[in-house]
């Protein structure tokens, strides 16, 4: 770790302090870290003021967070053959900047868009043509092999993506997931020169609308660090509660959907209704069921007072017994357990190699929870959670969700008991960002580690805005969970991960 600079979550550092390593030293350093228990938080390229291409790696190892950088040539030896964690990150860099990672084992586009530098396309795509473009799928040869292609438009109300299965009969040998359909150019928009600053939080909370609180927290904390804004204790508590309500609502909805996927309808109906109660609690604070509009750099936009705390306390008291019983109904039905157990297993070894995060990681035995490792907001007042079943199957992922619902239901009343009123910030907000600075923010949103990374130039304008949704790590985990499974188990496996398409496609 000698060549890396240790940093703190949500604390700005000067760009000049980031070690600017020789590429081979950089490569050896990040490989050493990631092959020995370290995980990638961010790994991205940017063009500096002189249009020189730079590479930044933010790595977490144990309780510590590190950063290092280097200059990037038009071609470099890929890190993926030695460490799978880099696989998607290197493809993303190739797509965004037209840089070739030599000997990358599966170099193809991530989202289908022109690179930012107007360089020749690495993948040989002609972007005047509509997606899917020109690229191969992983195939399995043999007389008995058949291929199943699904999407982008799926049955049901769900985001688009393409899934390509290689099967023998019912059995799936390989699943390749090709996304990109949801690409809206969010990063480019966030760093667009002259973009009014007050657009940033609006864009941030729509990066993934089901994670509006997670992404807007990361955004606000990054701005607060760069602009040196103080957040009131009461606002921190509200923001923590909002993130936990988001977790509860999404987990409840997914438990219902999992129940529906195994044709056990009562919990589907009950969880569906109860999820709405928690979305309505977010509305009580934010005026919006997903919490859009609530979190802004410097604090919160609306007051949260005794009246609102009482509504939340009452609702949690009213709904907890019923919710507990519906959970018991789901997890004690033997027909449900028979479908959940040993389905879609991702071993700890694979999960670690891929760097899975959130409940998908925890269900496979990787206990990382950034609420505990890199606490923000009021998380120093929230006790840690533990998980019983962590063997990586659908049942593990479902049980972890149930445990997290119960944990959050206990955490919120304790936070409410502080009885701190939170006054809103003034609008329109005005702030200046520290020049030549770097900040990375990490929050444990419901799917896992969300991270935003900002670099400013010498005028304090945003030079690079990098967003990472936990889905960027975890989609590969879903693909692995389908190996040697029946294809009919795909919906169940998919829902147990429930990953974000737009969060991946940005």
Q: Which residues, 420 to 479, sit near another protein by CB under 8 A?
A: 424, 427-428
Give the nearest distance from C-beta 398 to another protein in angstroms: 17
Task: Based on the shown chain and the rule CB under 8 A, indicate whether residue 153 belongs to the binding site for another protein.
Answer: yes
At 477, give phi and psi (nearest 5°): -65, -40
d(CA 10, CA 375): 10
Residue among 25, 31, 131, 434 that touches another protein (CB under 8 A): 131
Residue among 206, 320, 381, 410 that touches another protein (CB under 8 A): 206
Task: Based on the shown chain and the rule CB under 8 A, indicate whether residue 305 belongs to the binding site for another protein.
Answer: no
Residue among 280, 320, 347, 410 that touches another protein (CB under 8 A): 280
Task: Based on the shown chain and the rule CB under 8 A, indicate whether residue 505 belongs to the binding site for another protein.
Answer: yes
Give the nearest distance from C-beta 494 to another protein in angstroms: 14
Task: Based on the shown chain and the rule CB under 8 A, indicate whether residue 194 belongs to the binding site for another protein.
Answer: no
Q: Between 456 and 498, whose beta carbon lies closer to another protein?
A: 498
Residue among 2, 136, 156, 484 that touches another protein (CB under 8 A): 156
Task: Based on the shown chain and the rule CB under 8 A, indicate whether residue 125 belongs to the binding site for another protein.
Answer: no
By CB under 8 A, the residues from 23 to 62 that bind another protein are: none
Residue among 72, 237, 301, 336 that touches another protein (CB under 8 A): 301
Give the nearest distance from C-beta 239 to another protein in angstroms: 16
CA dist 289 → 98, 155, 188, 358 (Å): 40, 25, 27, 23
Task: Based on the shown chain and the rule CB under 8 A, indicate whether residue 491 belongs to the binding site for another protein.
Answer: no
CA dist 17 → 8, 67, 326, 456 (Å): 14, 10, 53, 14
Residue among 54, 239, 275, 447 that touches another protein (CB under 8 A): 275
Give the nearest distance from C-beta 200 to another protein in angstroms: 9
Candidates 96-104, 155-163, 406-414, 450-458 — which segment interacts with another protein by CB under 8 A?
A: 155-163
E strand segments, 110-268: 145-150, 162-168, 171-178
Task: Based on the shown chain and the rule CB under 8 A, indicate whether residue 290 belongs to the binding site for another protein.
Answer: yes
CA dist 484 → 41, 161, 195, 363 (Å): 30, 22, 48, 19
d(CA 207, CA 199): 13
Q: How many residues does the chain have?
A: 506
By CB under 8 A, the residues from 250 to 269 that bind another protein are: 253, 266-267, 269
In sequence order, what are the residues at sequence separation of 6 or more whose Cβ sits closer than 8 angstroms to the Cβ of residue 405? 247, 248, 251, 252, 255, 323, 327
By CB under 8 A, the residues from 328 to 387 that bind another protein are: 328-329, 332-333
136 and 145 Cβ atoms separated by less than 8 Å: no
382 and 443 Cβ atoms separated by less than 8 Å: no
Give the nearest distance from C-beta 178 to another protein in angstroms: 11
Task: Name the nearest CA neighbour of 494 among 467, 475, 472, 469.
Answer: 475
Residue among 13, 59, 207, 455 that touches another protein (CB under 8 A): 207
Q: What is the token pair recorded at 8?
A: 């703190």
């Amino acid at each position: 770790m000698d060549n890396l600079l240790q940093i703190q979550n949500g604390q700005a550092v000067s760009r000049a302090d980031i070690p600017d390593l020789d590429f081979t030293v950089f490569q050896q350093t990040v490989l050493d870290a990631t092959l020995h228990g370290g995980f990638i938080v961010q790994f991205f390229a940017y063009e500096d003021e002189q249009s020189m291409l730079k590479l930044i790696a933010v790595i977490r190892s144990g309780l510590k967070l590190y950063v290092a950088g280097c200059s990037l040539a038009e071609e470099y030896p890929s890190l993926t053959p030695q460490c799978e964690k880099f696989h998607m990150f290197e493809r993303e860099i190739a797509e965004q900047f037209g840089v070739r990672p030599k000997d990358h084992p599966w170099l193809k586009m991530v989202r289908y868009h022109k690179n930012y530098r107007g360089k020749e396309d690495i993948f040989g795509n002609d972007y005047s043509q509509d997606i899917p473009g020109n690229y191969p799928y992983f195939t399995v040869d043999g007389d008995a092999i058949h291929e199943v292609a699904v999407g982008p438009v799926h049955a049901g109300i769900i985001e688009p993506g393409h899934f390509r299965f290689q099967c023998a009969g019912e059995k799936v040998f390989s699943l390749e997931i090709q996304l990109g359909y949801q690409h809206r150019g969010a990063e480019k928009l966030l760093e667009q020169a002259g973009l009014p600053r007050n657009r940033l939080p609006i864009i941030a909370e729509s990066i993934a609308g089901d994670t509006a609180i997670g992404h807007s927290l990361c955004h606000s904390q990054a701005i607060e660090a760069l602009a040196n804004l103080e957040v009131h204790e009461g606002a921190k508590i509200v923001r923590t509660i909002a993130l936990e309500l988001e977790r509860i609502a999404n987990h409840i909805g997914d438990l219902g959907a999992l129940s529906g996927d195994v044709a056990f309808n009562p919990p589907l109906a009950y969880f569906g209704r109860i999820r709405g109660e928690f979305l309505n609690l977010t509305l009580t604070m934010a005026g919006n069921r997903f919490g859009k509009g609530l979190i802004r750099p410097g604090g919160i936009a609306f007051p949260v007072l005794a009246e609102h705390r009482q509504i939340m306390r009452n609702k949690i008291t009213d709904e907890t017994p019923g919710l507990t019983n519906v959970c018991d109904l789901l997890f004690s039905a033997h027909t449900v357990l028979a479908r959940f157990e040993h389905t879609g297993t991702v071993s700890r070894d694979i999960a670690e190699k891929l760097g899975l995060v959130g409940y998908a990681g925890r269900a496979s035995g990787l206990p990382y929870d950034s609420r505990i490792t890199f606490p923000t907001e009021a998380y120093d007042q929230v006790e840690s959670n533990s998980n019983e079943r962590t063997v990586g199957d659908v049942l593990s992922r479902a049980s972890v969700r149930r445990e997290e619902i119960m944990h959050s239901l206990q955490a919120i009343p304790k936070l409410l008991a502080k009885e701190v009123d939170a006054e809103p910030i003034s609008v329109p907000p005005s702030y200046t960002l520290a020049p030549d600075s770097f900040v990375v923010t990490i929050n444990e949103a419901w799917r896992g580690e969300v991270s935003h990374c900002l670099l400013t130039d010498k005028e304090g304008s945003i030079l690079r805005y990098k967003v990472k949704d936990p889905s960027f790590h975890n989609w590969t985990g879903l693909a692995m969970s389908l190996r040697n499974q029946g294809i009919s188990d795909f919906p169940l496996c998919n829902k147990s991960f429930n990953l974000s398409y737009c969060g991946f496609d940005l």
